Amino acid sequence: MTAVTLPTTAYGPLNRGRAPLISMNEVSQTFRGGQGVPLTVLDGVSFTLYDGEIVALLGRSGCGKSTLLRVMAGLIEPTGGSVEYRGEPVRGATPGVAMVFQSFALLPWLTVMGNVELGLEGVADQERRRRALDAIDVVGLDGFETAYPKELSGGMRQRAGFARALVREPDVLLMDEPFSALDVLTAENLRTELLELWSAGSFATRAMAIVTHNIEEAVLLADRILVLGDGGIKGELQVRRPRPRDRHAPAFHGLMD
């Protein structure tokens, strides 16, 4: 497989002046495949996630989207290339980055509260509780603190998944097909709500990347779309300027089309 070099500069001006949050430099990931045949999933991927933007990573099943996201989060160390978070090399899980998973990844033996508090390991009890309640409130799950995952609908489980990520007040939120296990209407509602909450500054995350194989979802949600395939980025589309947000991007007010 050959890496594809991207015309990233074509869209440079839209991100001018924005701080790079996560930079991937020629990142490669080769797994030991079956029968010892190495499987190169990422082959020299380079891109930067900038402050203020929502990027969608679009690609077929099996093309390496989840792998790329896990490398971005520092959950796996790439076999080649490097990842930087705010200009510093990433080593291990990055504290400023949180993830939301397709399968929600809630622990069934813990309540909503217990699951959300997991996002704050090491934080003192009282503060952890207060922040967990805040996050549960933001995602609209107040009243369900003591419910167990099995008592919740899919949409509510994913709300808990979002609360567990947001409770950490991450700079970057990485989402791996967060809506694809939900029915169409629930997915649409959650997606819209996520965008509204973020635009209103209801949570302090500065940039988001969402993995999806749903083109419509990518267009609706993202400012920029990267198409993955054959181990590399096959194309890039700037959908719109990063949206201004009330608290975090005042400099961009008045610059919208």
| Residue whose CB is less far from ligand ADP, 34 or 108 | 34
Q: Is 94 in the site for ligand ADP (CB under 6 A)?
A: no
Q: Specify the residue, 63 or 106, whose C-beta has the smaller distance to ligand ADP.
A: 63
Asked if 79 touches ligand ADP (CB under 6 A), the answer is no
Q: Does residue 214 interact with Mg ion by CB under 5 A?
A: no
Span near ligand ADP by CB under 6 A; candidates 45-53, 56-64, 87-95, 178-186: 56-64
**Which residue in 67, 115, 202, 212 binds ligand ADP (CB under 6 A)?**
67
Q: Interface with ligand ADP includes 64 (CB under 6 A)? A: yes
Stretch near ligand ADP under the rule CB under 6 A, chosen from 60-68, 78-86, 145-153, 199-207: 60-68
Instruction: Tell me which residue has tokens 């015309």.
Output: 7
Which of 30, 66, 180, 238 touches Mg ion (CB under 5 A)?
A: 66
Sequential DSSP letters for 175-239: EESTTTTS-HHHHHHHHHHHHHHHHTTSS---EEEEEES-HHHHHHH-SEEEEEETTEEEEEEE-
- Can you tell me the distance from the alpha carbon of 212 to that of 77, in angstroms, rounded to the nearest whole number? 22
Which phi and psi (to 5°) does residue 243 adopt? Answer: -70, 145
Q: Report angle CA 177, 179, 185 to the nearest 5 degrees.
A: 155
Name the DSSP letter for residue 3: P
Other CB atoms within 10 Å distance of the CB of residue 11: 14
Is residue 61 involved in binding ligand ADP (CB under 6 A)? yes
Window contacting ligand ADP (CB under 6 A); options: 65-73, 91-99, 148-156, 229-237: 65-73
Note whether 78 binds ligand ADP by CB under 6 A: no
Non-local CB neighbours of 67 within 8 Å, separated by 6+ positions:
29, 41, 42, 76
Which burial class, exposed, middle or buried, applies to 185 when counting CB atoms under 10 A from its CB (0-12, 13-18, 19+)? exposed
Output the smallest distance, CB 64 to Mg ion, in A: 8
Minimum gap (Å) between residue 118 Cβ and ligand ADP: 23
For the bound state, the minimum distance from the C-beta of residue 12 to Mg ion, rounded and expressed in Å, comes to 29
Beta 54-58 vs 224-229: how paired, if at all? parallel
59 binds, among ligand ADP, Mg ion, none (CB under 5 to 8 A by kind): ligand ADP
CB-CB contact of 42 with 27 (8 Å): yes
Q: How many residues bind ligand ADP (CB under 6 A)?
A: 11
Binding site for ligand ADP (CB under 6 A): 31, 39, 41, 59, 61-67
Binding site for Mg ion (CB under 5 A): 66
